[in-house]
Protein backbone atom coordinates (compact mmCIF):
# COMPACT_ATOMS: atom_id res chain seq x y z
CA UNK A 1 0.00 0.00 0.00
CA UNK A 2 1.30 3.47 -0.79
CA UNK A 3 2.11 5.87 2.00
CA UNK A 4 -0.76 8.16 2.99
CA UNK A 5 -0.20 11.88 2.53
CA UNK A 6 -1.61 12.65 5.98
CA UNK A 7 -1.44 10.03 8.70
CA UNK A 8 -2.91 10.86 12.11
CA UNK A 9 -2.65 8.37 14.98
CA UNK A 10 -4.03 8.60 18.51
CA UNK A 11 -4.12 12.37 18.44
CA UNK A 12 -5.37 14.11 21.58
CA UNK A 13 -5.41 17.89 21.66
CA UNK A 14 -6.74 20.43 24.15
CA UNK A 15 -6.38 24.20 24.18
CA UNK A 16 -4.86 25.38 27.49
CA UNK A 17 -7.33 25.24 30.35
CA UNK A 18 -9.97 23.48 28.23
CA UNK A 19 -11.11 19.85 28.04
CA UNK A 20 -9.86 17.78 25.06
CA UNK A 21 -11.28 19.16 21.82
CA UNK A 22 -9.89 16.44 19.56
CA UNK A 23 -9.39 12.75 20.30
CA UNK A 24 -8.78 11.10 16.94
CA UNK A 25 -7.62 7.47 16.91
CA UNK A 26 -6.97 7.52 13.18
CA UNK A 27 -7.32 9.78 10.16
CA UNK A 28 -5.70 9.38 6.77
CA UNK A 29 -5.71 11.23 3.51
CA UNK A 30 -4.38 9.33 0.53
CA UNK A 31 -2.34 11.00 -2.19
CA UNK A 32 -4.57 12.32 -4.96
CA UNK A 33 -7.74 12.39 -2.86
CA UNK A 34 -10.20 15.28 -2.58
CA UNK A 35 -11.75 14.94 0.88
CA UNK A 36 -14.55 16.96 2.39
CA UNK A 37 -14.50 17.13 6.18
CA UNK A 38 -17.62 18.62 7.69
CA UNK A 39 -18.36 19.79 11.17
CA UNK A 40 -20.37 22.56 12.80
CA UNK A 41 -18.79 25.81 13.84
CA UNK A 42 -16.62 25.35 16.94
CA UNK A 43 -16.14 21.59 16.44
CA UNK A 44 -12.36 21.91 15.96
CA UNK A 45 -11.90 21.93 12.17
CA UNK A 46 -9.48 24.87 12.09
CA UNK A 47 -7.64 23.46 15.11
CA UNK A 48 -7.17 20.13 13.31
CA UNK A 49 -5.89 21.88 10.17
CA UNK A 50 -3.37 23.80 12.29
CA UNK A 51 -2.13 20.53 13.77
CA UNK A 52 -1.86 18.89 10.35
CA UNK A 53 0.12 21.88 9.09
CA UNK A 54 2.37 21.79 12.15
CA UNK A 55 1.35 25.31 13.23
CA UNK A 56 0.45 23.84 16.61
CA UNK A 57 1.84 20.66 18.08
CA UNK A 58 -0.20 18.01 19.84
CA UNK A 59 1.27 16.69 23.04
CA UNK A 60 -0.22 13.25 22.44
CA UNK A 61 -0.32 11.19 19.30
CA UNK A 62 1.44 11.29 15.97
CA UNK A 63 0.82 13.33 12.83
CA UNK A 64 2.88 12.55 9.75
CA UNK A 65 2.82 14.41 6.48
CA UNK A 66 4.39 12.63 3.50
CA UNK A 67 5.84 10.13 5.97
CA UNK A 68 7.52 12.83 8.07
CA UNK A 69 6.39 12.93 11.73
CA UNK A 70 5.88 16.66 12.37
CA UNK A 71 6.90 16.45 16.04
CA UNK A 72 10.40 15.36 15.00
CA UNK A 73 11.03 18.71 13.32
CA UNK A 74 12.05 21.86 15.18
CA UNK A 75 9.90 24.93 14.66
CA UNK A 76 11.97 26.41 11.80
CA UNK A 77 12.16 23.10 9.95
CA UNK A 78 8.44 22.57 10.48
CA UNK A 79 7.64 25.99 9.00
CA UNK A 80 9.80 25.23 5.95
CA UNK A 81 8.25 21.79 5.60
CA UNK A 82 4.76 23.34 5.68
CA UNK A 83 5.44 25.93 3.00
CA UNK A 84 7.25 23.39 0.80
CA UNK A 85 4.44 20.86 0.89
CA UNK A 86 1.14 22.55 1.70
CA UNK A 87 -0.90 25.40 0.27
CA UNK A 88 -3.52 27.00 2.53
CA UNK A 89 -6.72 28.77 1.60
CA UNK A 90 -7.89 30.51 4.75
CA UNK A 91 -11.46 31.33 5.61
CA UNK A 92 -10.71 35.08 5.55
CA UNK A 93 -8.22 34.53 2.69
CA UNK A 94 -5.46 36.36 4.64
CA UNK A 95 -4.09 38.21 1.61
CA UNK A 96 -1.44 40.78 2.46
CA UNK A 97 -3.30 44.03 1.73
CA UNK A 98 -0.25 46.15 0.89
CA UNK A 99 1.08 43.67 -1.68
CA UNK A 100 -0.10 43.36 -5.27
CA UNK A 101 -2.12 40.42 -6.51
CA UNK A 102 1.00 39.04 -8.20
CA UNK A 103 3.11 39.39 -5.05
CA UNK A 104 0.44 37.67 -2.97
CA UNK A 105 0.23 34.72 -5.34
CA UNK A 106 4.02 34.40 -5.53
CA UNK A 107 4.57 34.62 -1.77
CA UNK A 108 5.01 30.84 -1.18
CA UNK A 109 7.73 30.81 -3.85
CA UNK A 110 9.66 33.45 -1.87
CA UNK A 111 9.69 31.18 1.15
CA UNK A 112 10.07 27.84 -0.59
CA UNK A 113 12.80 27.15 -3.10
CA UNK A 114 11.21 23.88 -4.13
CA UNK A 115 7.90 25.56 -4.96
CA UNK A 116 9.69 28.32 -6.90
CA UNK A 117 11.61 25.66 -8.82
CA UNK A 118 8.48 23.69 -9.63
CA UNK A 119 6.58 26.81 -10.70
CA UNK A 120 9.42 27.83 -13.03
CA UNK A 121 9.85 24.34 -14.38
CA UNK A 122 6.19 24.05 -15.28
CA UNK A 123 5.55 27.56 -16.57
CA UNK A 124 8.92 29.05 -17.46
CA UNK A 125 9.01 31.49 -14.53
CA UNK A 126 7.28 32.18 -11.22
CA UNK A 127 5.63 35.29 -12.75
CA UNK A 128 4.28 33.23 -15.60
CA UNK A 129 3.03 30.55 -13.20
CA UNK A 130 1.10 33.19 -11.24
CA UNK A 131 -0.44 34.64 -14.40
CA UNK A 132 -1.46 31.22 -15.74
CA UNK A 133 -3.01 30.12 -12.45
CA UNK A 134 -4.97 33.34 -12.09
CA UNK A 135 -6.21 33.03 -15.67
CA UNK A 136 -7.34 29.45 -15.02
CA UNK A 137 -9.21 30.70 -11.99
CA UNK A 138 -10.99 33.31 -14.08
CA UNK A 139 -8.78 36.32 -13.35
CA UNK A 140 -7.18 36.95 -16.72
CA UNK A 141 -7.09 40.74 -16.75
CA UNK A 142 -3.36 41.63 -16.82
CA UNK A 143 -4.08 44.94 -15.04
CA UNK A 144 -5.33 42.99 -12.06
CA UNK A 145 -1.90 41.50 -11.36
CA UNK A 146 -0.52 44.87 -10.33
CA UNK A 147 -3.52 45.83 -8.22
CA UNK A 148 -3.19 45.96 -4.44
CA UNK A 149 -4.94 43.10 -2.77
CA UNK A 150 -7.00 45.40 -0.57
CA UNK A 151 -9.23 46.62 -3.38
CA UNK A 152 -10.53 43.30 -4.63
CA UNK A 153 -14.03 41.88 -4.40
CA UNK A 154 -14.60 38.84 -2.17
CA UNK A 155 -14.76 36.56 -5.23
CA UNK A 156 -11.47 37.97 -6.54
CA UNK A 157 -9.78 37.62 -3.14
CA UNK A 158 -10.85 34.02 -3.01
CA UNK A 159 -9.34 33.25 -6.40
CA UNK A 160 -6.10 35.01 -5.51
CA UNK A 161 -5.98 32.99 -2.28
CA UNK A 162 -6.52 29.78 -4.29
CA UNK A 163 -3.77 30.66 -6.77
CA UNK A 164 -1.42 31.34 -3.84
CA UNK A 165 -2.20 27.92 -2.37
CA UNK A 166 -1.68 26.15 -5.69
CA UNK A 167 1.48 27.82 -6.98
CA UNK A 168 4.49 25.51 -7.13
CA UNK A 169 2.30 22.40 -6.88
CA UNK A 170 2.36 21.56 -3.15
CA UNK A 171 1.39 17.94 -2.47
CA UNK A 172 -1.45 19.09 -0.21
CA UNK A 173 -3.94 21.93 -0.54
CA UNK A 174 -5.87 22.74 2.62
CA UNK A 175 -9.02 24.83 2.34
CA UNK A 176 -10.64 26.15 5.51
CA UNK A 177 -14.24 27.13 4.69
CA UNK A 178 -13.13 29.19 1.69
CA UNK A 179 -16.62 29.46 0.25
CA UNK A 180 -18.61 30.69 3.22
CA UNK A 181 -18.76 34.25 1.86
CA UNK A 182 -20.15 33.19 -1.55
CA UNK A 183 -23.60 32.39 -2.87
CA UNK A 184 -24.47 28.79 -3.79
CA UNK A 185 -23.78 28.93 -7.55
CA UNK A 186 -20.46 30.71 -7.19
CA UNK A 187 -19.52 28.27 -4.45
CA UNK A 188 -19.94 25.19 -6.60
CA UNK A 189 -18.18 26.78 -9.58
CA UNK A 190 -15.25 27.70 -7.35
CA UNK A 191 -14.96 24.17 -5.97
CA UNK A 192 -14.96 22.73 -9.49
CA UNK A 193 -12.14 25.08 -10.48
CA UNK A 194 -10.25 24.07 -7.37
CA UNK A 195 -10.64 20.37 -8.28
CA UNK A 196 -9.40 21.00 -11.82
CA UNK A 197 -6.35 22.89 -10.64
CA UNK A 198 -5.52 20.39 -7.88
CA UNK A 199 -5.75 17.56 -10.38
CA UNK A 200 -3.55 19.41 -12.88
CA UNK A 201 -0.96 20.06 -10.15
CA UNK A 202 -1.20 16.56 -8.67
CA UNK A 203 -2.21 18.06 -5.31
CA UNK A 204 -4.50 16.35 -2.81
CA UNK A 205 -7.25 18.48 -1.33
CA UNK A 206 -8.48 18.61 2.25
CA UNK A 207 -11.52 20.88 2.36
CA UNK A 208 -13.35 21.65 5.60
CA UNK A 209 -16.70 23.34 5.96
CA UNK A 210 -19.84 23.39 8.05
CA UNK A 211 -21.85 23.47 4.79
CA UNK A 212 -23.07 19.91 4.20
CA UNK A 213 -24.51 20.72 0.78
CA UNK A 214 -20.98 20.71 -0.66
CA UNK A 215 -20.26 17.09 0.33
CA UNK A 216 -21.57 15.33 -2.83
CA UNK A 217 -19.06 17.19 -4.99
CA UNK A 218 -16.13 15.35 -3.37
CA UNK A 219 -14.51 11.89 -3.83
CA UNK A 220 -14.97 11.19 -0.15
CA UNK A 221 -16.71 12.98 2.69
CA UNK A 222 -16.45 12.54 6.40
CA UNK A 223 -17.87 14.19 9.43
CA UNK A 224 -15.32 15.29 12.04
CA UNK A 225 -17.62 13.78 14.67
CA UNK A 226 -17.06 10.32 13.09
CA UNK A 227 -13.32 10.68 13.65
CA UNK A 228 -13.34 12.52 16.92
CA UNK A 229 -14.15 10.68 20.16
CA UNK A 230 -14.22 14.02 21.99
CA UNK A 231 -17.10 15.26 19.82
CA UNK A 232 -20.32 16.07 21.60
CA UNK A 233 -23.50 14.33 20.35
CA UNK A 234 -24.72 17.69 18.97
CA UNK A 235 -21.89 17.60 16.42
CA UNK A 236 -22.79 14.28 14.85
N1 LIG B 1 -6.07 29.82 19.71
C2 LIG B 1 -7.01 29.31 20.50
N3 LIG B 1 -6.90 29.35 21.84
C4 LIG B 1 -7.84 28.82 22.65
N5 LIG B 1 -8.96 28.21 22.22
C6 LIG B 1 -9.14 28.13 20.89
C7 LIG B 1 -8.19 28.67 19.97
N8 LIG B 1 -8.63 28.44 18.70
C9 LIG B 1 -9.82 27.79 18.84
N10 LIG B 1 -10.13 27.60 20.14
C11 LIG B 1 -11.33 26.91 20.65
O12 LIG B 1 -11.40 25.62 20.09
C13 LIG B 1 -12.73 25.29 19.74
C14 LIG B 1 -12.80 24.89 18.28
O15 LIG B 1 -12.45 25.99 17.46
P16 LIG B 1 -12.11 25.84 15.92
O17 LIG B 1 -11.03 24.83 15.74
O18 LIG B 1 -11.87 27.20 15.40
O19 LIG B 1 -13.48 25.22 15.34
P20 LIG B 1 -14.12 25.31 13.87
O21 LIG B 1 -13.02 25.64 12.91
O22 LIG B 1 -14.71 23.96 13.63
O23 LIG B 1 -15.16 26.37 13.91
C24 LIG B 1 -13.59 26.49 20.08
O25 LIG B 1 -14.19 26.26 21.33
C26 LIG B 1 -12.58 27.62 20.17
O27 LIG B 1 -12.98 28.59 21.09
MG1 LIG C 1 -12.81 27.22 11.56
192-198: Cβ within 8 A, 24+ apart: 192/217, 193/136, 193/137, 193/138, 193/162, 194/162, 195/34, 196/136, 197/133, 197/136, 197/137, 197/162, 197/166, 198/34, 198/166, 198/173
pLDDT digits (tens, 9 = 90+) for 175-201: 999 887 777 788 888 999 899 999 999
Regions in the chain scoring below 50 on pLDDT: none
- Label each residue of 46-57 as H, E or C: HHHHHHHCCCCC
What's the pLDDT tens digit per position in 125-147? 999 999 999 999 989 888 999 99
Quick check: CB of 180 below 6 Å from ligand 1?
no
- Residue from 12, 15, 174, 236 whose mutation best tests the ligand 1 pocket (most atoms within 8 A of CB): 15
* Domain boundaries 6-227, CATH class: alpha beta
pTM for the full predicted model? 0.95
Q: What is the best residue among 39, 47, 223 to mutate for testing ligand 1's pocket, by most ligand atoms within 8 Å of CB? A: 47
pLDDT at 121: 96
Ligand 1 center to residue 43 CA distance, Å? 8
Q: Please give the order of strands across the beta sheet that includes 220-223.
A: 86-89, 172-176, 204-209, 34-38, 220-223
Amino acid sequence: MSQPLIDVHDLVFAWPGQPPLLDIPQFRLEAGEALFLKGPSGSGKTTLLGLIGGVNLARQGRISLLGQPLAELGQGARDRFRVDHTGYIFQQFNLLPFLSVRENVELPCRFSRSRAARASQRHGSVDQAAAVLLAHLGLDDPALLARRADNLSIGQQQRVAAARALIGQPELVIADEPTSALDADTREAFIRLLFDECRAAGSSLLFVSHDQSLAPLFDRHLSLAELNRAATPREA
